[in-house]
Structure formats: structure tokens, C-alpha cells
Amino acid sequence: MDARTVAEHWERNAETWTKYSRAGHDRYRDALNTPAFLAMLPDVNGLDGLDLGCGEGTNTRAVAARGARMSGLDIAPTFLAHARATEAEDPRGIDYVLGDGLTLPFADASFDFVTAFMSMMDMSDQQGVLKDVQRVLRPGGFLQFSILHPCFVPPRRRNIRDASGAPVAVEIADYFRETDGEVETWLFSSIPEDERRQQTPFAIPRFHRTLTSWVAMIVTAGLVIEAFGEPMASEEVAAAEPIVADTRVAPIFLHVRARKPRS
């Protein structure tokens, strides 16, 4: 599947995604994934940053709140319209740009760092994206990204629960079957059932790669891996947000930080 078709899917998802994620239904993002990502992020105060696949911009704003001068790039115009509207209401100095991660519309060495929150597994040519990220990074700059964990969320995954409904194990399959835009359909699970019935589910083209492929692509792009993160909900967070309790059995997200060498 090419980037244009991916963009059409995301454009159709954007209105519902923005509405429900801003209403707090992206529980994994808010309760676990973004806090863990920000905890792993180096000090970005005063740095120039790009948020790749920024969506409606909530995470871009969280990075800007740490003192970075941010640009946000996304392929879906409706996401950018929402991001820009929020920026106009409550400015954080973020410049939102419509574009494709494969052909970033920025000069070489434009940024001290690039973030990509849960967007790179949705891009059609991750090797090309990583090469272009390397190009726009300044020497010594870093990329930090989060993706669905390749090992524990391959194309087939099912939570195994005990009699009380608590997650106790995970069944996975098809780990080695790399996908080319296989469309997954779902909605945030905390949306009430009567509302869910009235919504068209998200249709998300996915480009699953094994962990071996991810490491090879990062290294081939000329980046040096320096940190991995596998967020796990604490007992307190899992009790308060039972949806994320399955991350105590096995991780759902993988965070990677990789750096462009200085020379």
C-alpha cells in the first residue's frame, strides 16, 4: 500500500480519532504510553524538534511544554486542522506542516531531535522514513519513537483472561509475517457501547516488521540505538485504569531512541 492510500485511511479516521482521543478514550496513550515516552525523553529545553505523524497534536504540545521549539508533520489534513485550531486558541509556538514522512519538506540538519509517537508502524516505507529522519537531524541529534511492540503485538494477538476477567497471558501469532498495509479495524475500547454502534471503526493500515527488521532499518539509516523502553503499568495505574492492566503481562509498546553520530 502506498503513502497516498495510507493518507486516505487516516483522513477518514481523523475526525472520530480526534473527538475520542481528546475526550480521554485513548487510555493507553494518556495513562501509560505518553507518560513513559516523556520520562525517557532527554532534556529538550531550547532545542528544535519535529514530531513526525503528529496527528491532532496533543503529544506535540506535551513536548513543546518541555521548552522545545516544535514543528509537527502529518499526512492527514483533518488532523492538522484540529492541531492548528488548538494552537491558535492556546499557542505553544508549534508550526504544523502537511507532509509525508518519506519526503520530509525540511532542509538537511534542521532539527536537534525528532519524535514519532505511535506513527512509524503506520508508515509504508519505514526504511525510507528513517533515512529521511537521519537527513533532517543535526549531527548528535536523536530520534525517539514509539510503536506497537513488534514481539507482543504482531498481526495476531489475544489477551487470555482468568475467570474474573483479569489478563493473565497473551496469545500471539504471525510474528514473522511482515505486512504491507493490512487494515486493522477497531475503536477505543472505553467508548460506551451505544456510542460505538453509531461510529464507523478506525481503519488503520499496518506495516508490521519484526524486531530484527526494525534494528536493521535503524542501523542502515545510520542511527545508533541508545535506549529501549517497554512501558508497564504500575499496580496503582492498572487498578485505576484496568484497560492498561494487560501491559503488566507483556508490553504493548516499544520505545526506541537512536542517535545520529556527530561525525
Ligand X SMILES: C[S@@+](CC[C@H](N)C(=O)[O-])C[C@H]1O[C@@H](n2cnc3c(N)ncnc32)[C@H](O)[C@@H]1O
CB 172 within 8 A of CB 152: yes
Strand partners, 114: 50, 143
Rule CB under 6 A: say whether 10 interacts with ligand X.
Answer: yes
Rule CB under 6 A: say whether 79 interacts with ligand X.
Answer: yes
Rule CB under 6 A: say whether 55 interacts with ligand X.
Answer: yes
Rule CB under 6 A: say whether 252 interacts with ligand X.
Answer: no
Residue nearest to ligand X (CB): 55
Q: Which stretch binds ligand X (CB under 6 A): 75-83, 169-177, 217-225, 251-259?
A: 75-83
CA 74 to each of CA 3, 80, 119, 189: distance values in angstroms, whole numbers, following the listed order: 12, 7, 9, 25
Binding to ligand X, residues 86-115 (CB under 6 A) = 100-102
From candidates 50, 63, 123, 148, binder to ligand X by CB under 6 A: 123
Q: How many angstroms separate the first and last alpha carbons of the chain? A: 36
Question: In angstroms, rounded to a whole number, what is the distance separating the alpha carbons of residues 55 and 75?
Answer: 8
Q: CB 103 → ligand X: shortest distance, Å?
A: 9
CB 9 within 8 A of CB 203: yes
CA 144 to each of CA 5, 12, 262: distance values in angstroms, whole numbers, following the listed order: 26, 27, 17
Q: CB 128 → ligand X: shortest distance, Å?
A: 9
From candidates 37, 117, 142, 188, binder to ligand X by CB under 6 A: 117
Give Dmax over CA atoms of the chain in angstroms: 57
Q: Which residues bind ligand X (CB under 6 A)?
A: 3, 6, 10, 53-55, 58-59, 73-76, 79, 100-102, 117-119, 122-123
